[in-house]
């Protein structure tokens, strides 16, 4: 293949040509993107000033197509940043009407937009709503949590949520089916001390349901846990025929885990161990398994020794 050799003059001319071509292309791009265009984008509807005495349900999608007058730069950015397009629609007229005309609110909507990025039209222009009876009720807050603790630490008491109830309002046919309201997920790792934090409530998926308040305070008691061993008398149950029964041994050793703060408070009176004689009478068991049927909250059974006891029945 032949190699074209250019003289110094020819190289300077070629370099100047390429430079001019690049500059011309850049100038064309700048002029093109600086020109004003009408372009369409999708925007999400956000409602404000919802009627207090009427429950509503939108009969169309929560997104609309809008025609925007702006520069080519803005048109380019709108394609890149599509998640931040929101139109705030005033619903105050729903106190007396069943629809909202968006073109009548263009001035108010555009007041929240940049002057060089104004909306000229919205499709659909009219939003229609269905109305039902409105209900208000209080429901408990349900904490959604995923908490991982440091070794030998764990939750040592009930979670306290303030407020424990929230007020929800909306269509009766929806509100009456709601038994509780979830929080956003609380995810914590390597916890070794009490947790006190504020967390948002889960957002309503429907624009016609409102929640108050929107945040709650969550307190989770956390303590270091240790083991403790107690001797518990075995209580015999299921002796419906009132046989004279003796059990061996009469007490079992129960090992539990408990928080250090409650270690000295725990005694045998807070626990109960049982053996069911029905297992012999109905199923023919030769020994009776021991079950701990009563223990304080946040205590865990580690071991029961022995797990089975012998017995003698005198008829």
The pLDDT-based confidence of 228 (bands split at 50, 70, 90) is very high
Q: According to the model, what pLDDT value does residue 288 have?
A: 96
* Higher-scoring residue by pLDDT: 294, 40: 294
The pLDDT-based confidence of 87 (bands split at 50, 70, 90) is confident
Token pair for residue 71? 């520069």
- State the Cα–Cα distance between residues 234 and 180, nearest whole angstrom: 41
- Other beta carbons within 10 angstroms of residue 109's beta carbon come to 19
Q: CB within 8 A of 192, min separation 6: which ones?
A: 149, 150, 153, 222, 224
For residue range 20-62, what is the model confidence (pLDDT) as tens digits?
Answer: 777 767 766 665 555 666 777 888 888 888 777 666 767 777 7
* Higher-scoring residue by pLDDT: 129, 236: 236
- Evaluate if pTM is beyond 0.95: no
* Higher-scoring residue by pLDDT: 24, 148: 148
- State the Cα–Cα distance between residues 293 and 271, nearest whole angstrom: 8
Q: According to the model, what pLDDT value does residue 257 have?
A: 94
Lowest mean pLDDT among 44-58, 148-162, 255-269, 274-288: 44-58
- State the Cα–Cα distance between residues 170 and 55, nearest whole angstrom: 5
Give me the residues paired with residue 80 across strands.
none
Q: According to the model, what pLDDT value does residue 279 have?
A: 94
The pLDDT-based confidence of 84 (bands split at 50, 70, 90) is low
For residue range 172-200, what is the model confidence (pLDDT) as tens digits?
Answer: 878 888 999 999 999 999 999 999 999 99
- State the Cα–Cα distance between residues 108 and 110, nearest whole angstrom: 5
Q: According to the model, what pLDDT value does residue 41 have?
A: 80
């Amino acid at each position: 293949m032949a190699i074209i050799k250019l003289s110094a003059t020819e190289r300077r001319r070629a370099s100047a040509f390429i430079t001019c071509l690049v500059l011309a292309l850049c100038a064309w791009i700048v002029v093109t993107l600086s020109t004003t265009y009408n372009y369409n984008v999708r925007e999400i509807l956000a409602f404000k000033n919802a009627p207090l005495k009427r429950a509503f349900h939108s009969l169309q999608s929560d997104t609309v197509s809008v025609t925007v007058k702006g520069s080519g730069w803005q048109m380019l950015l709108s394609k890149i940043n599509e998640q931040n397009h929101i139109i705030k629609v005033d619903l105050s007229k729903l106190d007396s009407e069943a629809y909202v005309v968006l073109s009548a609110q263009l001035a108010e909507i555009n007041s929240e937009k940049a002057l060089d990025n104004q909306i000229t039209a919205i499709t659909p222009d009219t939003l229609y709503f269905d109305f039902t009876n409105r209900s208000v009720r209080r429901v408990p807050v349900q904490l959604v949590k995923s908490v991982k603790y440091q070794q030998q630490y764990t939750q040592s008491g009930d979670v306290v949520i303030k407020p424990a109830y929230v007020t929800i309002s909306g269509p009766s046919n929806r509100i009456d089916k709601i038994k509780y309201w979830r929080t956003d997920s609380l995810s914590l790792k390597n916890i070794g001390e009490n947790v006190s934090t504020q967390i948002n409530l889960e957002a309503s998926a429907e624009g016609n349901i409102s929640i108050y308040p929107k945040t709650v305070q969550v307190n989770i008691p956390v303590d270091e846990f240790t083991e403790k061993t107690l001797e518990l008398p075995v209580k015999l149950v299921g002796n419906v025929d009132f046989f004279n029964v003796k059990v061996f041994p009469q007490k079992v050793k129960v090992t539990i885990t408990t928080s250090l703060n409650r270690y000295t408070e725990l005694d045998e009176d807070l626990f109960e161990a049982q053996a069911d004689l029905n297992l012999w009478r109905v199923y023919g068991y030769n020994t009776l398994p021991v079950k701990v049927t009563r223990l304080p909250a946040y205590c865990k059974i580690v071991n029961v020794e022995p797990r089975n006891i012998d017995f003698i029945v005198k008829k």
